[in-house]
């Protein structure tokens, strides 16, 4: 096999193949929408934990997003990484995707503008950004096999638009999606990759999502450049044979190699070429944490405030299941272990206020066994992990987690393709009496025992979407009555026949507390003000699994209802990575969307509630009055695994249907008030003077929507923001590019419809303050 063909597939799950004859050094590629994922998925490898994609989208601030990306890129360089698979530019069209938290917005212009800022922020440090997943990977159900059936106009104007903006911002890579588009897999879709490389002039590397290839010739001819993970399955040697047989022309192989060499040159991994760094400032770890706290503050969206925020000094009741057990990130294939201690909202608020705390719901969600009071059989903190081959332990480790993934190799053991036994042993000392749940699952046949008694077992998952099976982390649990303070020995064994990926996940949950709601309501009744933190559990939003609806769990709804009944000064903080139904919103004094805000969540929340900082965000997605109001409600896969897209979606659908939103796209308030002066159109810019009419410094976001001739609903065209002191006036300028006026016409391409276009200027998709008319 010629060396140039060999490098078209990865070496491992995190590296490309080096090839001295081509001047290519090994490149390290890492997943990164929430932070830099450990190449070995080891909890001892820590990283910055970023605000999730939807939280970054809520900032409506390219400067903040660029600063977060810059901090991540600097960390990547310190750790020797060359490329980051991020940002996720798929659109939150349903609000129910298992990965909505990773997506920046439901709107292509907002997602594309912020995605381009992320790309620029990363690449100024000589690290490649790989936007993903091209295209329409906006559902997790049957993601490896489903087909997105979307009309040509919507594909061009909506779903491809953020990718086009990121490519025009100079992205050095793009990841192709698992799913099919119009029946053809995206990784081998010639028209899709022709648009990318031909129309948009993309000169970087197109990489497959992991295990997304199912063929050799079709992806190569379509324009895919690199198969991941390695070692090769469909490219490499098979591609060399296909080229030798004349099935793939030499120029296509040469193009693949040139693109890999170009990427290597940019990241400093081509002989004689230094890393292409244009940034003037390097972000160290201390500054990076400050950046992430400020980004979290900028992401919080205050959609209701009946004069209760900011909080006055004194005592408060901090209630809710997410106050002491928040979600900092979504459950993707690669979870991030934060590089520093992360404050919970409860801990951060206790540092600022006199706090009474109650969880308020009976159930405590299952957590990693290692997060409980556990030790190894000889008394060391952590769990004992033994890797057994041919009946003998070949590696024994003490680990601080009980969820493990290995890609291709188990360090110190050997290939994951070899059969073997994995044994986890931990001595658990319960902190409460009652019926505990303990469970496990993984990539092999798994058995859970407590003090020698088999409690649960789970067979190896069926072949198929191996990445999805690992990401779903499905477990089988059993129940056992334990006494507080009396230790028991938990042992989990997983027998594997071998495979490209191996995984084990062990969880435990304490018994429910039937008095939790009563204590919380009593605390709320006594308190001056309540901060009620509710939302998702760590496993609610998962890769490879969608959600059935947008409702909070019933016990959380009861908690909100009962607390609001006894205390009208209730502030609800939503800790979720997606739009949540909120029929209770008018019954509470304030509603703050806190998203998955990363490692700065607790600190930022305390600062915003106390008034040290303003909640700076605006809604990046719409929250309808009910799920049934969405155009996507009821969309399912048909018998051929096709999903037929209903268009338009989100706020554009509500506008066309004449249905009001509960929380409009773009809505949100701060701690001051604003007056908008007369808007004017000067060339390709809309200029709006804004005056701070309140008593505090604040930030205002001015949004411009456009309605073309014949359209009934608006679409976002651009946005801008300014900060001002009380009484001060600032001019906000929003540039409207040529694409603002264009619409895609099959057969003719981008065309400006003749007639008058309406330019709508305001504070949200439903709060339009001024309308300008532009003849075209």
Catalytic positions are: 209
How far apart, in whole angstroms, are the C-alpha atoms of residue 19 and residue 278?
A: 27
Q: Starting from the edge strand earliest in sequence, which strands make up the sheet with 301-305, in order?
A: 301-305, 590-593, 570-575, 530-535, 315-319, 354-358
How far apart, in whole angstroms, are the C-alpha atoms of residue 728 and residue 398?
A: 60
Kindly state the tokens that stand for 258.
């040139």
For residue 409, the 8-state DSSP code is E
How far apart, in whole angstroms, are the C-alpha atoms of residue 286 and residue 745?
A: 50
Kindly state the tokens that stand for 308.
């209760």
Could you count the other beta carbons within 10 Å of the beta carbon of residue 198?
11
For residue 258, the 8-state DSSP code is H
> Which residue is listed with tokens 């060339």?
683
Helix (H) or strand (E) holding 470: helix 466-472
Tell me the DSSP string of 62-118: HHHHHHHHHHHHHHHHHTT--EEE--B----SSS--TTGGGB--SSHHHHHHHHHHH
Could you count the other beta carbons within 10 Å of the beta carbon of residue 380?
10
How far apart, in whole angstroms, are the C-alpha atoms of residue 665 and residue 716?
A: 10
Smallest CA-to-CA distance from 46 within 340, 399, 337 is with: 337
Task: Tell me the sheet residues that pair with 31.
Answer: 85
- CA–CA distances in Å: residue 594 to residues 60, 113, 312, 583: 15, 22, 20, 18
How far apart, in whole angstroms, are the C-alpha atoms of residue 303 and residue 592?
A: 6
How far apart, in whole angstroms, are the C-alpha atoms of residue 509 and residue 344?
A: 19
Q: Is 220 helix (H, G, I), strand (E, B) or coil?
A: helix
How far apart, in whole angstroms, are the C-alpha atoms of residue 741 and residue 718?
A: 12
How far apart, in whole angstroms, are the C-alpha atoms of residue 188 and residue 177?
A: 10
SS (H, E, C) 480-528: EEECCCCCEEEEEEEEECCCCEEEEEEEEECCCCCCHHHHHHHHHHHCC
> Do strands 729-735 and 685-692 pair parallel, antiparallel, or not at all (unpaired)?
antiparallel
């Amino acid at each position: 096999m010629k060396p140039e063909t060999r490098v078209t597939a990865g070496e491992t799950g995190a590296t490309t193949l080096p090839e001295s004859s081509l001047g290519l050094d090994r490149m390290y590629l890492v997943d990164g929408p929430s932070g830099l994922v450990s190449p070995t998925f080891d909890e001892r490898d820590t990283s910055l934990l970023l605000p999730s994609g939807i939280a970054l989208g809520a900032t409506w601030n390219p400067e903040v997003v660029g600063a977060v990306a810059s901090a991540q890129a600097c960390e990547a360089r310190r750790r020797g990484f060359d490329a980051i698979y991020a940002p996720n530019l798929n659109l939150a069209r349903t609000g129910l995707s298992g990965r909505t938290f990773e997506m920046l917005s439901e709107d292509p212009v907002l997602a594309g503008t912020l995605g381009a800022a992320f790309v620029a922020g990363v690449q100024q440090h000589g690290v490649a950004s790989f936007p993903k997943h091209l295209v329409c990977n906006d559902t997790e159900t049957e993601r490896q096999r489903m087909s997105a059936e979307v009309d040509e106009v919507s594909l061009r104007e909506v779903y491809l638009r953020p990718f086009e903006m990121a490519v025009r911002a100079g992205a050095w890579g793009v990841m192709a999606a698992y799913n099919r588009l119009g029946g053809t897999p995206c990784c081998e879709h010639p028209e899709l990759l022709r648009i990318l490389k031909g129309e948009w002039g993309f000169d970087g590397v197109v990489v497959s999502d992991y295990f997304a290839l199912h063929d050799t010739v079709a992806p190569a001819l379509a324009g895919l450049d690199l198969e991941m993970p390695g070692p090769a399955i469909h490219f490499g040697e098979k591609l060399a044979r296909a080229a030798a047989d004349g099935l793939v022309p030499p120029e296509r192989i040469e193009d693949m190699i040139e693109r890999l060499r170009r990427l290597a040159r940019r990241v400093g991994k081509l002989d004689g070429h230094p890393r292409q760094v244009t940034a003037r400032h390097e972000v160290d770890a201390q500054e990076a944490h400050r950046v992430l706290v400020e980004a979290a503050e900028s992401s919080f969206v205050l959609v209701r405030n009946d004069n209760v925020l900011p909080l006055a000094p004194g005592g408060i009741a901090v209630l809710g299941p997410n106050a002491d057990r928040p979600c900092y990130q979504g459950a993707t294939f690669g979870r991030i272990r934060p590089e520093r201690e992360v404050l919970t909202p409860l801990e951060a608020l206790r540092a600022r206020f006199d706090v009474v705390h109650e969880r308020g719901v009976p159930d405590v969600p299952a957590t990693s066994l290692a997060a409980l009071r556990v030790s190894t059989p000889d008394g060391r903190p952590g769990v004992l992990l033994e890797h057994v081959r041919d009946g003998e332990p070949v590696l024994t480790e003490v680990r601080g987690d009980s969820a493990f993934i290995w890609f291709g190799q188990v360090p110190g053991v050997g290939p994951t393709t070899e059969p073997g036994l994995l044994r986890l042993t931990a001595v658990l000392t319960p902190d409460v009496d009652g019926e505990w749940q303990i469970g496990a699952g993984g990539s092999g046949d798994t058995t859970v025992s407590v003090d020698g008694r088999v409690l649960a077992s789970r067979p190896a998952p069926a072949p198929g979407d191996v990445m999805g099976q690992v990401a779903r982390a499905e477990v089988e649990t059993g129940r056992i009555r334990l006494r507080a303070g009396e230790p028991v020995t938990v042992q989990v064994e997983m027998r594997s026949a071998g495979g490209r990926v191996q995984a084990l996940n062990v969880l435990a949950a304490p018994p429910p507390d039937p008095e939790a709601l009563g204590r919380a309501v009593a605390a709320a009744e006594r308190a001056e003000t309540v901060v009620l933190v509710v939302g998702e559990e760590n496993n609610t939003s998962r890769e490879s699994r969608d959600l059935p609806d947008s409702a909070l769990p019933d016990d959380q709804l009861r908690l909100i209802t009962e607390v609001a009944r006894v205390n009208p000064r209730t502030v609800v903080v939503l800790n979720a990575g997606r739009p949540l139904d909120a029929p209770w919103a008018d019954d509470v004094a304030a509603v703050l969307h806190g998203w998955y805000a990363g490692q700065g969540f607790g600190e930022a929340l305390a600062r915003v509630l106390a008034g040290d900082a303003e909640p700076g965000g605006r809604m990046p997605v719409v929250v309808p009055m009910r799920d049934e109001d969405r155009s996507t409600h009821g969309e399912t896969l048909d018998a051929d695994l096709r999903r037929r897209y209903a268009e338009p979606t989100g706020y554009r659908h509500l506008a066309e249907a004449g249905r009001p939103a509960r929380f409009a796209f773009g809505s949100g308030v701060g701690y001051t008030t604003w007056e908008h002066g007369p808007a004017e159109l000067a060339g390709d810019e809309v200029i709006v003077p804004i005056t701070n009419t309140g008593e505090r410094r604040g930030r205002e976001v001015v949004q411009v929507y456009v309605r073309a001739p014949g359209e009934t609903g608006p679409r976002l065209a651009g946005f801008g923001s300014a900060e001002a002191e009380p009484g001060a006036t600032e001019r906000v300028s929003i540039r409207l590019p040529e694409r603002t006026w264009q619409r895609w016409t099959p057969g003719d391409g981008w065309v400006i419809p003749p007639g008058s276009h309406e330019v709508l200027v305001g504070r949200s998709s439903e709060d339009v303050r001024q309308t300008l008319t532009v003849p075209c």
